[in-house]
């Protein structure tokens, strides 16, 4: 036709598609979950925009998803009456694979199927999973509010090119026709589709409809009737009693809200009653997203009011240091027309936020303290993936500082491994009877920390020192002055006063030798002039002849280096 436009995906598209088909094939049924998940998101978007513009409903207010199949044409069709897409939105959302960060994506690939499958999920190629089972996909859509002649048809065989065509579309929303591959005939079966939907998409709150099957006595087989039936429970999972929700249902719901392919690490589901009523279902992912430290990283929870979807990424519901948490909050008290602006001011939201923080910290604590090996492993995974982010909480969340500090883990001179394993409580339990402070050193790498001359005296005396080498650590210790009544002390700062850890004998020698070496120190100061503030005789070294220290109130050497490298 005349108005058909041919367009190409980015160069990497073909490779990506191949990889996806290959790595997800063993679990190919998930394509339906992805397409249903998108249809459900599209309905959520319509509901949200519909709050301020009811005309978008176009006299078709009952949001739903329809699944049909046709054995003759070997097609499977997923139809929704959600928000739909404009031509430009089709190009931006469907015509662009892996959106931002395609290069990072390819760099991150490991060749390990399970890991790569997870990455594919993160890069938002959910829609393309259709090509696992289809050799041609035809998507026809019209955005709510646009007139009928503004329909758009997108078609592709998934081989690097697609076509775009302007078409007439009467009904708002999106219809996706999958032309199934030769060996995917088993999908053209009502029972099979039912079971896939029940398994992966039961939690979807819209009805997912299929034509009812009736037994044909003459042909001795099932045939499709004209009557619709709802295949899923179509009730919000979080409103059901916990005892009636299976682990698998919790996990599938997570994959939908988090756009993740992997099951979550842990979750908590709670209903709060009293002055305020709300339900929370919060998840910790198993892996950190690649953009966790990106300023634009979307964060926050999905917000519902009385089971009506209000908004995605309601960032007001969680502080930045818990930005990796996914899930939903459903409030019974907020007004349905609540906006982001209203959320900023709302006292109700402040309470819900405090409640969410409590629940999340409680969940992490339960992983940390539970003796069971499985939970211990989960905590270790949690710390590896999100520990650096949690550390931000020490500065950000004064109220919960002590609770967060209890969860911190460090590398230590008393722990063989290079993993951050040691808690402040463990450190304190191992302190010498005369020891009053928690000693640490910051450095811009583990090797640098381990070989610091400042450690010599501590090694000699058998005193444990925490080795802090994450970028965030300077910030951490600048905000955490004490824990459990013990102050934190950098071993690289000022006059190191070991307090009661120094014995009388040592003190005497110290006084005598300070006098003897003072003259040398003064000479050295003259030579070095403005390069140093002072030259002092020290007893903290046992092997190295000299080391640099910063003044008690000055920036540490490491922080200075960090700021310099950041161009400050």
User: Can you give the binding site for ligand ADP, defined by CB under 6 A?
Assistant: 34, 38-39, 42, 80, 82-85, 93-94, 124-127, 174, 259
CB of 16 to ligand ADP, least distance (A): 12
Which whole-number Å values give the CA distances from 140 to 58, 79, 172, in the listed order? 18, 9, 10
- Tell whether 34 is in a known binding site: yes
- Tell whether 524 is in a known binding site: no
Residue with tokens 């907020």: 334
Cβ-based nearer residue to ligand ADP, 65 or 394: 65
Residue with tokens 């978008």: 56
Cβ-based nearer residue to ligand ADP, 126 or 319: 126
Choosing among Mg ion, ligand ADP, none, which partner's interface includes residue 19 (Cβ < 5 to 8 Å by kind)? none
Cβ-based nearer residue to ligand ADP, 259 or 359: 259
Determine the interface stretch with Mg ion among 30-38, 333-341, 482-490, 524-532 (rule: CB under 5 A): 30-38
- Residues 139 and 156: their CA atoms lie apart, in Å, by 9
- Inter-helix orientation angle 247-258/190-201, to 10°: 80
Residue 332 in tokens: 């019974």
Number of residues that bind Mg ion (CB under 5 A): 2
Decide: is 121 part of the binding site for Mg ion (CB under 5 A): no
Cβ-based nearer residue to ligand ADP, 255 or 409: 255
CB of 34 to ligand ADP, least distance (A): 6
CB of 37 to Mg ion, least distance (A): 5
Decide: is 412 part of the binding site for Mg ion (CB under 5 A): no
Choosing among Mg ion, ligand ADP, none, which partner's interface includes residue 83 (Cβ < 5 to 8 Å by kind)? ligand ADP
CB of 42 to ligand ADP, least distance (A): 3
- Tell whether 99 is in a known binding site: yes
The closest alpha carbon to 150, from 85, 216, 208, 215, belongs to 85
Which whole-number Å values give the CA distances from 399 to 2, 100, 354, 387, 532, in the listed order? 65, 37, 10, 19, 40
Residues 6+ apart with CB under 8 A from 558: 442, 443, 444, 474
Which whole-number Å values give the CA distances from 484 to 268, 401, 488, 490, in the listed order? 28, 11, 10, 17
Decide: is 300 part of the binding site for Mg ion (CB under 5 A): no
Residue with tokens 């009928």: 148
Give the residue nearest to ligand ADP (CB). 126
- Residues 561 and 443: their CA atoms lie apart, in Å, by 10
Choosing among Mg ion, ligand ADP, none, which partner's interface includes residue 479 (Cβ < 5 to 8 Å by kind)? none
Residues in the chain, total: 568
- Tell whether 305 is in a known binding site: no
CB of 255 to ligand ADP, least distance (A): 11
- Tell whether 52 is in a known binding site: no
Choosing among ligand ADP, Mg ion, none, which partner's interface includes residue 80 (Cβ < 5 to 8 Å by kind)? ligand ADP
Decide: is 173 part of the binding site for Mg ion (CB under 5 A): no
- Tell whether 122 is in a known binding site: yes
Decide: is 319 part of the binding site for Mg ion (CB under 5 A): no
Cβ-based nearer residue to Mg ion, 256 or 540: 256
C-beta separation of 82 from 123 below 8 A: no
- Tell whether 100 is in a known binding site: yes
Cβ-based nearer residue to ligand ADP, 42 or 467: 42
- Residues 21 and 229: their CA atoms lie apart, in Å, by 32
Decide: is 38 part of the binding site for Mg ion (CB under 5 A): yes
- Tell whether 253 is in a known binding site: no
- Residues 70 and 77: their CA atoms lie apart, in Å, by 9
The closest alpha carbon to 144, from 61, 35, 255, belongs to 61
Cβ-based nearer residue to Mg ion, 38 or 442: 38
- Tell whether 382 is in a known binding site: no
- Inter-helix orientation angle 113-122/13-24, to 10°: 120
Cβ-based nearer residue to Mg ion, 205 or 388: 205
Residue 426 in tokens: 């463990």
- Tell whether 93 is in a known binding site: yes
By CB atoms closer than 10 A (0-12, 13-18, 19+), residue 433 is: exposed
C-beta separation of 423 from 376 below 8 A: no
- Tell whether 127 is in a known binding site: yes
Cβ-based nearer residue to ligand ADP, 127 or 439: 127
- Residues 147 and 149: their CA atoms lie apart, in Å, by 6
- Residues 429 and 255: their CA atoms lie apart, in Å, by 41
Q: Binding residue for Mg ion (CB under 5 A) from 126, 173, 190, 327?
A: 126
- Tell whether 532 is in a known binding site: no
CB of 259 to Mg ion, least distance (A): 6
Residue 91 in tokens: 């190009």
Residues 6+ apart with CB under 8 A from 285: 258, 260, 262, 264, 265, 324, 326, 385
Choosing among Mg ion, ligand ADP, none, which partner's interface includes residue 171 (Cβ < 5 to 8 Å by kind)? none
By CB atoms closer than 10 A (0-12, 13-18, 19+), residue 378 is: buried
Cβ-based nearer residue to ligand ADP, 93 or 381: 93
Binding site for Mg ion (CB under 5 A): 38, 126
Annotated binding site for ATP: 34, 38, 80, 85, 93, 99-101, 122-127, 174, 340
The binding site consists of 34, 38, 80, 85, 93, 99-101, 122-127, 174, 340
């Amino acid at each position: 036709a005349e108005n058909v436009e041919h367009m190409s995906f980015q160069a990497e598209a073909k490779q990506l598609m191949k990889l996806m088909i290959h790595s997800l094939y063993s679990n190919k049924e998930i394509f339906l979950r992805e397409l249903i998940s998108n249809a459900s998101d599209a309905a959520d978007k319509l509901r949200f925009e519909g709050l301020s513009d009811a005309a978008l409903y176009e006299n078709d207010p009952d949001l739903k998803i329809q699944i049909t199949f046709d054995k003759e044409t070997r097609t499977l069709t997923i139809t929704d009456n959600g928000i739909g897409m404009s031509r430009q939105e089709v190009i931006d959302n469907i015509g662009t694979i892996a959106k931002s960060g395609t290069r990072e994506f390819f760099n991150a690939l490991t060749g390990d199927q399970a890991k790569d499958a997870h990455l594919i999920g993160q890069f938002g190629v959910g829609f393309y999973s259709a090509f696992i089972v289809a050799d041609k996909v035809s998507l026809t859509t019209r955005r709510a509010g646009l007139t009928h002649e503004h329909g758009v048809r997108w078609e592709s065989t998934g081989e690097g090119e697609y076509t775009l065509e302007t078409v007439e579309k009467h009904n708002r929303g999106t219809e996706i026709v999958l032309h199934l591959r030769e060996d995917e005939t088993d999908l053209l079966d009502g029972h099979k589709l039912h079971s896939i939907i029940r398994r992966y998409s039961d939690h979807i709150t819209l009805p997912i409809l299929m034509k009812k099957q009736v037994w044909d006595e003459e042909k001795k087989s099932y045939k499709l009737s004209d009557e619709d039936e709802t295949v899923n429970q179509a009730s919000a999972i979080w409103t059901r009693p916990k005892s009636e929700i299976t682990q698998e249902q919790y996990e599938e719901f997570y994959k939908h809200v988090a756009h993740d392919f992997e099951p979550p690490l842990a979750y908590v589901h709670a209903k709060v009653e009293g002055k305020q009523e709300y339900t929370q279902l919060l998840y910790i992912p198993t892996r950190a997203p690649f953009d966790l430290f990106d300023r634009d990283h979307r964060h926050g929870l999905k917000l519902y009011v009385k089971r009506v979807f209000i908004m995605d990424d309601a960032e007001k519901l969680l502080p930045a240091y818990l930005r990796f948490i996914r899930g939903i909050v459903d409030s019974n008290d907020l007004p349905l027309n609540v906006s982001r602006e209203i959320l900023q001011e709302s006292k109700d939201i402040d309470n819900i936020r405090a409640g969410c923080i409590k629940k999340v910290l409680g969940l992490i604590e339960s992983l940390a303290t539970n003796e069971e090996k499985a939970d211990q492993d989960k905590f270790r995974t949690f710390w590896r993936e999100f520990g650096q982010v949690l550390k931000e909480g020490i500065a950000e969340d004064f109220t919960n500082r002590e609770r967060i500090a209890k969860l911190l883990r460090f590398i230590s001179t008393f722990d063989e491994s290079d993993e951050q394993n040691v808690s402040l409580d463990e450190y304190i339990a191992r302190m010498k009877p005369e020891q009053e402070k928690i000693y640490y050193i910051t450095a811009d790498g583990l090797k640098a920390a381990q070989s610091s001359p400042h450690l010599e005296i501590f090694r000699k005396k058998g005193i444990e020192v925490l080795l802090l080498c994450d970028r965030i650590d300077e910030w951490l210790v600048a905000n955490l002055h004490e824990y459990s009544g013990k102050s934190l002390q950098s071993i690289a700062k000022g006059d190191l006063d070991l307090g009661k850890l120094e014995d009388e004998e040592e003190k005497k020698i110290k006084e005598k030798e300070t006098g003897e070496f003072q003259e040398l120190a003064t000479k050295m100061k003259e030579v070095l002039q403005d390069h140093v503030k002072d030259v002092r005789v020290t007893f903290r070294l046992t092997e190295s002849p000299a080391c640099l220290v910063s003044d008690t109130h000055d920036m540490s050497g490491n922080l200075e280096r960090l700021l310099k490298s950041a161009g400050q």
